[in-house]
Amino acid sequence: MPHDAPATQPVPTITGFSNVPDFAKGLVRDLRIRWAMEETGRPYRTELFDAMAERPEGYRQWQPFGQVPAFDDGTVRMFESGAILLYLGDRDERLLPSDPQMRWQAVSWLIAALNSIEPALMQIVSMDVFHAGKDWARAARAAAAGLAGQRLASLSNALGDREWLAGTFSVADIAMIGVLRNVQHTDMLDAFPALAAYRARGEARPAFAKALADQIAGFADHAENTENENA
């Protein structure tokens, strides 16, 4: 990755995990932030924790829920993947267009990804992964899949034949494609070829591939509480 940040600009830190169950590899939400950083060629460091262990002392003052990602670039210290994406977008037109209609359309879609689509899809993940085999999960799955299907149909209709949600590629696409990848263990997108193609378009971007490879490499390293410069 190019090192084009001025020497005086601190290298941001992103928190992630060094160790997760297999199903989560490639899905942990720090991927969204890594992807955004790669799109603009910005170097970053990671601070990785074992997902299955206690968080380090004081981490909840940075991320109140003890989750990842959290972000610190020396100017702001913040959490929530959507908020971090918006912060990065605010600083780079390649992530958030400056035209007001496109910009706020992108913000609308980023919030929709996290607030209208992700909860419906995470119910499926919860039943298939976290509560797999439980009677209540089996009983409730059809209804949850119905709701998720309705949300995906609406998203597919809204996307239409556009390449990206806000016209040009933006943090809305990083958020939405990140969310759609949560159900990659299912065939749910098969019913929506436009969404399957949209997800594939995002995943084909070199910045996504680099971000994914780096997240996976962090698991291989099993590098607890280390800092890696992704450059």
Least distance to ligand GSH, CB of residue 183, Å: 14
Asked if 19 touches ligand GSH (CB under 6 A), the answer is no
Task: Indicate which single residue of 18, 67, 123, 170 sits in contact with ligand GSH (rule: CB under 6 A).
Answer: 67
Pick 5 or 55: Cβ nearer ligand GSH: 55
Task: Indicate which single residue of 1, 13, 14, 29 sits in contact with ligand GSH (rule: CB under 6 A).
Answer: 29
Pick 192 or 211: Cβ nearer ligand GSH: 211
Task: Indicate which single residue of 18, 19, 46, 81 sits in contact with ligand GSH (rule: CB under 6 A).
Answer: 81
* Cα 42 to Cα 58: distance, rounded to the nearest angstrom: 27
Task: Indicate which single residue of 10, 60, 64, 66 sits in contact with ligand GSH (rule: CB under 6 A).
Answer: 66
Pick 151 or 168: Cβ nearer ligand GSH: 151
Asked if 199 touches ligand GSH (CB under 6 A), the answer is no
Least distance to ligand GSH, CB of residue 12, Å: 15
User: CA separation (Å) from 218 to 20, 124, 223?
Assistant: 10, 27, 6
Pick 78 or 147: Cβ nearer ligand GSH: 78
Total residue length of the chain: 231
Least distance to ligand GSH, CB of residue 99, Å: 26
Asked if 120 touches ligand GSH (CB under 6 A), the answer is no
Whether cis (ω within 30° of 0) applies to the bond prior to 100 is no
Asked whether 207 and 39 are in contact (CB, 8 A), the reply is: yes
Least distance to ligand GSH, CB of residue 14, Å: 11
Asked whether 194 and 179 are in contact (CB, 8 A), the reply is: no
Asked if 74 touches ligand GSH (CB under 6 A), the answer is no
Asked whether 148 and 124 are in contact (CB, 8 A), the reply is: yes
- Crossing angle of helices 100-112 and 81-90, in 10° steps, is 170
**Residue 16, amino acid:** G
Asked if 28 touches ligand GSH (CB under 6 A), the answer is yes
* Cα 44 to Cα 13: distance, rounded to the nearest angstrom: 6
* Cα 107 to Cα 177: distance, rounded to the nearest angstrom: 15
Calculate ∠ Cα 205-206-210, nearest 5°: 125
Binding site for ligand GSH (CB under 6 A): 28-29, 51, 66-69, 80-82
